[in-house]
Amino acid sequence: MMIRPGAEMHFQTLNEAIRSTPDTDVMIENCLGQRYIGAGLSGKTIVINGTPGNALGAYLDGCTIHVHGNSQEATGDTMNEGTIYVHGNAGDATGYAMRGGKIFIEGNSGYRTGIHMKAFQEKVPVLVVGGITGSFLGEYQAGGYIIVLDLNHQSIEKNCNFVGTGMHGGKIFLRTEKLPPNLPKQILASQATKEDLKEIKPFIHEFCEAFGREEQEILDSSFYVLTPNSNNPYKQLYTRNQC
Amino acid sequence: MGNNGINYIHPEFEVVRDQDKCIACRVCERQCANEVHYMDEDGVMRADNSKCVNCHRCVSLCPTGALKIVKSDHTFRPNGNWTPQIITELYRQAGSGGVLLSSMGNPTNLPVYWDRLLLNASQVTNPSIDPLREPMETVTFLGKKPKEIVRDEEGNIVNNQTPQIRLNTPIMFSAMSYGSISYNAHASLARAATELGICYNTGEGGLHEDFYQYGPNTIVQVASGRFGVHKAYLEAGCAVEIKIGQGAKPGIGGHLPGAKIVGDISRTRMIPEGSDAISPAPHHDIYSIEDLRQLVYSLKEATEYNKPVIVKIAAVHNVAAIASGVARSGADIIAIDGFRGGTGAAPTRIRDNVGIPIELALASVDSRLREEGIRDNVSVVVGGSIRSAADVVKAIALGADACYIGTAACLAMGCHLCRSCQEGKCNWGIATQRPELVKRLNPNIGSQRLVNLVNAWTHEIKEIMGGMGINSIESLRGNRLMLRGVGLNQKELEILGIKYAGE
Ligand code: SF4
Ligand code: SF4
């Protein structure tokens, strides 16, 4: 199915059309800000040319979405399965509370990228950003992989402030020579070893396939890996009151 | 830790054992997860008062009735300002440096407005109705009510009703997460809700797969941490509730201590075992009513507009203005939680000092929505705390469509309001994840007691309505003429929109 929403079409009309078509391949031409595309959907491949609105692929349950353009806020909010490729930049809170599936952003992503990502056993979400992100990357992260590549040398160190605030699970990989200066105490950061990089190799591979990048070149650079400090510091904040 | 071997805290309760009655069966010892009771070398049962939380488990199970718990008469020098509680709490903090953590609802002596509202009854000029002989309607529908009647070309009425929740009686079990309460407690609530034709609420911890079968009577909650939220979960319930806040701790988020994150809980929430579950106060994608609208609509899109969306907020100072925004956000139902609402864990200072009484919040929200002509955009559900059928009737007369009960439901399941849920050692099998404690709550009995409670309240509601000469809950809704105040000042009467008794 091909659909051309332009500026006029309401998101409800567009999304109803996507949901109800028996076609598994959906092509959206000249998308102009329609929200919630693919919300809760499974079993389709959606190609979007233009600019989808907020909450693209929210609660996504197993589609493949390609965006040729920029996505807005809350891309892949609470997504469970499937893959989103953005051939451009993404707005704030990309991958909010992702619990499965993968998101690949070719360019940059905004503030609070990967906030509340979680994982359990075989369900491990992956979020790869080709450029850099805004502050509060991986806030409250409880699981999954967040990988920031800074392929355009915009400096993770200078731009990604307060990475992993409140993080208590999962891993963040930053391709950088130097860590941002203001990492919270709850985080352990170390230079990624060969073993560490092995873990993310398939995701880098997939990123490079999607966006035509040189895999080995990326893997040969300096990465830091961030994990939560397991001496869980929250508990010490509280004292039992008997009242 | 800063106490230097000195014990600053004298036990609040004393375990009194009638040694003549005690047969040293050690039931109390086995029943107490706080390890109060023990047998000394001579075979005599003893108690460590400092560990007692006064949950009455031992008292209720002692086969000879040998036990009672009394409040210690040990005293500080009496002082109207520096009360024993304030002094003790200060000692705790000086010893630990920690934020005080409590549970259940605000226990302070602030006014309970329900108790200052009195209900009307018919005399002479209009007859009362006998609910045993005449039909009384308590069925309640929650959701947006259509503004206009739409007809097709042939003049037939087109159904333009958005999805509704149908309740046999205007009572629902409020959000208590699987995690904060046990599997058996959730099972009891789910089964009771199904049998009663009402709803229970998953809270923010997701839904155990065993409970999907109760979906038509389940409200699934979505909070900032999005624990356990996925398509099948959203589809499972009869409505989706966005939790913005809760009455026990407005402005701060959910906090489930690591001790309760074990096994299934870890799986349902998708967070590592033993690590605290932090659901921060703000949804990090909501900074305005427009942003709230985005979450409301993303949920509606994901559920194909088949489920009403509830937005739950805490009763705070500007609740009427906030509710007005929520009513315009696309939400179908607003749930308001008063400052006495319960919780599994909340910082004491927040629980006891933040938020406003639900009675005042409800009255001002209902008035505001009416003034703005948007009352029918939403249904209004109130909780925190509704303690009896009389409270339900008063809430409905003040303008609520239905009530949420949480603490009352826990009490029905055996809770003794010991307010130590945050420890995860609930001796009644409710606020715990320890298997040996969880199994003390038998879901067959738990659900039966809940069914009994709600049925009893429903009879009482009918009886009270009958006395007023009202035979349908619809006619009671927002009928503030049925209320009169006592012991209230002019401003309070004004906010409640009621007259003084005798007026
Ligand atoms: S349960 Fe009662 S009778 Fe048994 S040991 Fe305890 S106090 Fe004595
Ligand atoms: S649920 Fe359990 S721990 Fe909490 S107040 Fe009730 S009896 Fe005490």
**Closest B-chain CA to A168:** B275
Average pLDDT in chain B: 94
Determine contact: B271 vs chain A, CB below 8 A: yes
**Distance from the first to the final alpha carbon of chain B:** 60
C-alpha span between B489 and B500 (Å, rounded): 9
Between CA B392 and CA B398, with CA B393 as vertex, the angle to 5 degrees is: 95
C-alpha span between A116 and A141 (Å, rounded): 5
C-alpha span between B393 and B40 (Å, rounded): 53
Nearest ligand to the CA atom of B60:
1
Is pLDDT at A236 greater than 70 in this prediction?
no
Q: Which residue has the tokens 């205007």?
A: B170
Domain ranges for chain B, please list them: 13-98, 140-152+159-500
Of B410, B433, B438, B441, the residue with max ligand 2 atoms within 8 A of its CB, to mutate for a pocket test, comes to: B410
Between CA B78 and CA B87, with CA B84 as vertex, the angle to 5 degrees is: 115
Predicted local confidence at residue A179, as pLDDT: 93
Q: DSSP string covering B143-200, please? A: S---SS-EE-TTSPEE--PPP-EEESSSEEEPP--BTTB-HHHHHHHHHHHHHHT--E
Q: Which residue has the tokens 């040293």?
A: B24
Contacts with B72 (C-beta within 8 Å, 6 or more apart), sequence order: B10, B11, B12, B13, B14, B49
Judged by average pLDDT, the poorest of B222-226, B372-376, B459-463 is B222-226
Count CB neighbours of B30 within 10 A: 12
Q: Which residue has the tokens 């489930």?
A: B256
Residue of B222, B255, B285 to mutate when probing chain A, most A C-beta within 10 A: B285
Alpha helices by DSSP H, chain A: 11-20, 156-159, 194-211, 215-219
Confidence class for position B303, pLDDT limits 50, 70, 90: very high
Judged by average pLDDT, the poorest of A131-135, A199-203, B221-225, B255-259 is B255-259
Closest CA to B384 of B350, B343, B412, B344: B343
Segment B12-20 shows an average pLDDT of 96
Predicted local confidence at residue A240, as pLDDT: 83
The answer to whether the bond into B385 is cis (omega within 30° of 0) is yes
B182 by Cβ neighbours in 10 Å (0-12 / 13-18 / 19+) ranks as buried
**Is B231 in Cβ contact with A36 (below 8 Å)?**
no
Cβ pairs A/B, distance under 8 A: 149
Closest CA to B72 of B85, B63, B60: B85
Predicted local confidence at residue B138, as pLDDT: 97
Q: DSSP string covering A138-184, please? A: TTT-EEEEEEE--TT---HHHH--STTTT--EEEEEEE-SS--TT--
Predicted local confidence at residue A45, as pLDDT: 97
Judge whether B285 and A74 are in contact, CB under 8 Å.
Answer: yes
**Is B275 in Cβ contact with A97 (below 8 Å)?**
no
Predicted local confidence at residue B287, as pLDDT: 84
Judge whether B66 and B18 are in contact, CB under 8 Å.
Answer: yes
Predicted local confidence at residue B284, as pLDDT: 76
C-alpha span between A147 and A224 (Å, rounded): 10
Q: Work out which ligand 1 atom sits closest to the CA atom of B67.
A: 7
B500 by Cβ neighbours in 10 Å (0-12 / 13-18 / 19+) ranks as middle
The distance of B269 to chain A (nearest Cα, Å) reads: 8
The answer to whether the Cα torsion of A120, A121, A127, A133 is positive or negative is positive
Confidence class for position B358, pLDDT limits 50, 70, 90: very high
**Is B100 in Cβ contact with A239 (below 8 Å)?**
yes
A30-to-A8, A52, A72, A210, B304 alpha-carbon distances in Å: 11, 9, 15, 22, 24
Segment B432-461 shows an average pLDDT of 97
Segment A70-76 shows an average pLDDT of 96
Phi–psi pair at A143, nearest 5 degrees: 180, 175
Residue of B301, B306, B417 to mutate when probing chain A, most A C-beta within 10 A: B301
C-alpha span between B257 and B275 (Å, rounded): 7
State pTM to two decimals. Answer: 0.94
**Is A243 in Cβ contact with B348 (below 8 Å)?**
yes
Predicted local confidence at residue B88, as pLDDT: 95
Per-residue pLDDT tens over the stretch A1-27: 999 998 899 999 999 999 999 999 999
Confidence class for position A235, pLDDT limits 50, 70, 90: low
Is pLDDT at B239 greater than 90 in this prediction?
yes
Question: What CATH number does domain B13-98 carry, 3.30.70.20, 3.40.50.720, 1.10.760.10, 3.20.20.70?
Answer: 3.30.70.20
Judge whether A23 and A1 are in contact, CB under 8 Å.
Answer: yes
Predicted local confidence at residue A243, as pLDDT: 72
Segment B356-385 shows an average pLDDT of 97
The distance of B101 to chain A (nearest Cα, Å) reads: 5
Is pLDDT at A176 greater than 60 in this prediction?
yes
Phi–psi pair at A67, nearest 5 degrees: -110, 120
Segment A61-81 shows an average pLDDT of 96
Is pLDDT at B275 greater than 90 in this prediction?
no
Segment B405-416 shows an average pLDDT of 98
Segment A187-214 shows an average pLDDT of 95
Per-residue pLDDT tens over the stretch A37-66: 999 999 999 999 999 999 999 999 999 999
The answer to whether the Cα torsion of B239, B243, B247, B248 is positive or negative is positive
Predicted local confidence at residue B12, as pLDDT: 93
C-alpha span between B414 and B443 (Å, rounded): 12
A184-to-A180, B196, B280 alpha-carbon distances in Å: 10, 49, 17
Judge whether B226 and B202 are in contact, CB under 8 Å.
Answer: no
Segment A172-199 shows an average pLDDT of 92
| CATH class of the region B140-152+159-500 | alpha beta
Judged by average pLDDT, the poorest of A175-179, B38-42, B58-62, B126-130 is B126-130
Predicted local confidence at residue A234, as pLDDT: 55
C-alpha span between B168 and B152 (Å, rounded): 32
Nearest ligand to the CA atom of B39:
1
Of B430, B432, B437, B438, the residue with max ligand 2 atoms within 8 A of its CB, to mutate for a pocket test, comes to: B430
Percent over 90 (pLDDT), chain A = 85
C-alpha span between A70 and B194 (Å, rounded): 46
Judge whether B187 and B267 are in contact, CB under 8 Å.
Answer: no
The distance of A153 to chain B (nearest Cα, Å) reads: 28
B50 by Cβ neighbours in 10 Å (0-12 / 13-18 / 19+) ranks as middle
Percent over 90 (pLDDT), chain B = 85
Ligand 2 neighbours (beta carbon < 6 A): B 55, 103-104, 410, 415-421, 426, 428, 430-431
Confidence class for position B202, pLDDT limits 50, 70, 90: very high
Tell me whether strands B239-243 and B309-314 are parallel, antiparallel or unpaired: parallel
**Closest A-chain CA to B93:** A239
C-alpha span between A73 and A55 (Å, rounded): 6
Percent over 70 (pLDDT), chain A = 98
Which of A55, A80, A118 minimises the CB distance to B271? A118
Residue B243 near ligand 1, beta carbon < 6 Å:
no
**Closest A-chain CA to B351:** A243
Closest CA to B395 of B486, B495, B496: B496
Which positions 416-435 of B are in contact with A (Cβ < 8 Å)? 419-420, 422-423
Ligand 1, atom 3, lies closest to the CA of: B22
Segment B35-62 shows an average pLDDT of 96
**Is B101 in Cβ contact with A239 (below 8 Å)?**
yes
**Is A15 in Cβ contact with B285 (below 8 Å)?**
no
Q: DSSP string covering B457-480, please? A: HHHHHHHHHHHHT--BHHHHTT-G
Per-residue pLDDT tens over the stretch B263-272: 888 888 887 7
Range A2-228 classified under CATH 2.160.20.60: yes
Which of A12, A19, A99 minimises the CB distance to B230? A99
The distance of B358 to chain A (nearest Cα, Å) reads: 22
Segment B372-386 shows an average pLDDT of 96
Ligand 2, atom 2, lies closest to the CA of: B426
Q: Which residue has the tokens 């009671």?
A: B476
Judge whether A173 and A147 are in contact, CB under 8 Å.
Answer: yes
Beta-strand runs (E) in B98-159: 99-102, 117-119, 140-142, 150-151, 157-158
Q: DSSP string covering A63-84, please? A: EEEEEES---TTTTTT--EEEE
Residue B499, token pair as written in the block: 């007259």
Predicted local confidence at residue B395, as pLDDT: 98
Farthest CA pair distance, chain A: 63
**Given its phi and psi angles, is residue B247 left (phi above 0), alpha (psi -120 to 50 degrees) or beta?**
alpha
Judged by average pLDDT, the poorest of A204-218, B51-65, B101-115, B279-293 is B279-293
Predicted local confidence at residue B2, as pLDDT: 62
The distance of A102 to chain B (nearest Cα, Å) reads: 15
Judge whether A113 and A95 are in contact, CB under 8 Å.
Answer: yes
C-alpha span between B141 and A67 (Å, rounded): 42
